[in-house]
Amino acid sequence: MKQPNHGIKAAAPTVWSATRVPLAALAALLLAASASADDKTTTGGGANVHQQRAAVEKSESIMAEAKTRSGLLAQYLFMRDAYASSTDFSFRVIFNQYLSWYQTWVGDYAGARNSFSIVQKAAKDDAPSPLQDPAYKAVPAVDAIARLAKGRRAVFFNENHSYPLTRTLTVQMLARLREEGFDTFAAETLYEADMEALAKRGHVVSETGFYTEEPVYADMVNEALRLGYRVVAYEALSDATGDARETEQARNLKRGVFDKHPEARLVVNAGYAHIQEHGKYLGGSAMAQHFSRMTDIDPLTVEQTMLIPHDKQASDHPYYREAVSRLAPKQPIAFVDKDGQPWSLKPKAYDISVLFPEETLEHGRPTWLALGGLRVAFEVSGRMCDEQYPCMIEARPVGEPDEAVPADRAVIEFKGRIAAYGDKVRQSIDPYPVTDLWLRPGKYEILARDLSNQPRHRQQIVVGAVGKTP
C-alpha cells in the first residue's frame, strides 16, 4: 500500500520515507530547525547536513527493519534498542522522533514526550500575554471553539504527532461540532485506499493510516464514524514535498469534499503549521492557505501545539508557565475578550490558541487519557502476562477483531524488585506490575500479547462510570 509523505512542521520537520523525501532538502530543513528544538531532542544540533542525511537514511533503514518483526511490541523494542545502542548524537537527534511514534503507538506517552520535545521560546510575532490584559478571561476551550464554529464552513485543528495530548480536545469537539451541523472529517495521513472499507467496518485498522496506529488518533476517527461524519483522506498521493504537497492536500480536500458535497461542513485534523493562514511555509504556503484560495472558505484555525507542557519546564513557552502557575487549569482553556473575540499566540497565523493543563501520571500513564471525562481508568496487572515479560495489553470493544486498533494499549515490563528502565508502573508492594487502560464505558475484550505476538490471556470486561479491575 502506498504511504503518503509525512507531515513537516515549521519548527522541527517531521520525516517520512526516505524513498519519497529528497534527503538533501530534508536535511537542510532539519538543520534550519535546530535552533528551535530541545537540546536533548533537537532535530539538528551540531550535526552538519551530511550527518543529518546519513542519520535520516539510518533511521529509515532501522524502521524498515523493525517492520519485519512480528507484532507491534517486538517492533517497538527493536526501535528502543536501536536508540539505546547508539551514542551517535547526530543519529539520536533524528531517530528520537521515529522512536516517539512507536512509543505513542504502544501507549508509552510519557516516554514519547521525553524522546521528542520542541522548545517553545517566546518569539517576536507572539501576541501580548492575555494574562496582562484584563479584557481577556480564561474559558473552557470546548465552549469557545463551539461558539466560534457557528456558521463556519470549516474548522482546522492541528496536533503534535509525538504528543497525543494535542489530539484529546479534537476528539471531544467532534460531538459538539456534529451538533452544529459539521458532517465531514478529514485527517492527515489517512490512506485513501482504505476509506471505502473503513466506512463499512466502522473501526480503524493498521491499514487505515500512519498515525492511526496510536489509540487516541484511532479513537478520533472511530468517534467521527460513530457520529455520522463522512471520513475522507486528503493526503498527497504523489511524492510531492514542501509547497507542492501542501497544494495537493488542499486540492484533495476541495475535490474530495466540496466538489462532491457543495454544502459540506468540514473538520480537519492536521499536523503543526499545515493549518497556518498567513506567512511563508516551507518556501511557499501552508495547506490551509492553499485551501482558502481554492475554495474561498476561511477556516477557523485552532492552534494546539505551542501552549503545552514539556518534559522540562524550561522548554515551555513563558506564557504557559505563567498561566498554569496562576490559573492551574484542569481542562484545556482558551482566552476570549469581553466581546467574545479569541486570543491567539500567533494572531496572523491562527484564530485561537489552546492551552493544555500540566501532565499528571497515574500508574505511569497520563490522566489526559480520560479525554475530558469520556474515558475512565481500568486497572490491569502483569498477572495477565502469564509471567512472560514484556507483554502488551490491549482493550477492544467486544465484537471488534484483533486487527482493529485497540481503544487503548500499554506495555508492562517486570525487571525484578529493583526498578529499572521501562519498569515505571510497578509499585514496590505489588506482586505484579500494574497499569491503567483508559476506556469509555462499555464491554471490552482484554488481550495480552507476548514478545512473539502470541496471545497469553483473553478476558471480557465491563467498564462502567468507574473503572473496574479484572
Q: Angle at the Cα of 160 (from 219 to 26), degrees rounded to 5?
A: 125
Instruction: Give pLDDT tens digits for 219-256.
Output: 999 999 999 999 999 999 988 889 999 999 999 999 99
Taking alpha carbons only, the member of 154, 141, 140 closest to residue 300 is 154
pLDDT for 18 equals 30
Provide the percentage of residues in the chain whose pLDDT is more than 90. 79
pLDDT for 415 equals 61
pTM: predicted TM-score of the whole model, two decimal places:
0.89
pLDDT for 465 equals 75
Distance, in Å, from the CA atom of 74 to the CA atom of 79, rounded to the nearest integer, reads 9
pLDDT for 72 equals 97
Residue ranges per structural domain of the chain: 23-115, 130-359, 362-463
> 256 phi and psi, to 5 degrees?
-80, -20
pLDDT for 430 equals 57
Distance, in Å, from the CA atom of 303 to the CA atom of 320, rounded to the nearest integer, reads 14
Overall CATH class of domain 362-463: mainly beta
pLDDT for 429 equals 54
Instruction: Give pLDDT tens digits for 88-139.
Output: 998 999 999 999 999 999 999 999 999 998 999 999 999 999 999 999 999 9
Instruction: Give pLDDT tens digits for 8-65.
Output: 333 333 333 333 333 333 333 343 343 344 444 444 445 677 888 889 899 999 999 9
- Does residue 428 surpass a pLDDT of 90? no
Taking alpha carbons only, the member of 445, 396, 451 closest to residue 422 is 451
Taking alpha carbons only, the member of 246, 275, 247, 269 closest to residue 349 is 275
Distance, in Å, from the CA atom of 244 to the CA atom of 285, rounded to the nearest integer, reads 9
DSSP one-letter code for 281: B
- Does residue 287 surpass a pLDDT of 70? yes
pLDDT for 33 equals 42
Q: Which band of pLDDT confidence, cut at 50, 70 and 90, is reported for residue 172? A: very high
Q: Report whether CATH 1.10.10.920 matches the domain 130-359.
A: no
pLDDT for 240 equals 86
3-state SS, one letter per residue, for 174-212? HHHHHHCCCCEEEECCECHHHHHHHHHHCCCEHHHECHH
Mean pLDDT of the chain: 88
Strand partners, 435: 380
Contact 232, 199 (CB under 8 A): no
- Does residue 426 surpass a pLDDT of 50? no
- Does residue 469 surpass a pLDDT of 70? no
Q: HSE-up of 47 (CA within 13 Å, CB side)?
A: 28
Distance, in Å, from the CA atom of 141 to the CA atom of 137, rounded to the nearest integer, reads 12
pLDDT for 21 equals 34
- Does residue 68 surpass a pLDDT of 60? yes
User: Would the CATH topology of 130-359 be identical to that of 362-463?
Assistant: no
Once rounded to an integer, what is the mean pLDDT over residues 317-324? 97
Once rounded to an integer, what is the mean pLDDT over residues 404-432? 67
Q: Angle at the Cα of 168 (from 164 to 170), degrees rounded to 5?
A: 115
Instruction: Give pLDDT tens digits for 341-378.
Output: 999 999 999 999 999 999 999 999 999 999 999 999 99
Once rounded to an integer, what is the mean pLDDT over residues 313-334? 97
The cell 547526530 sits on which residue?
90
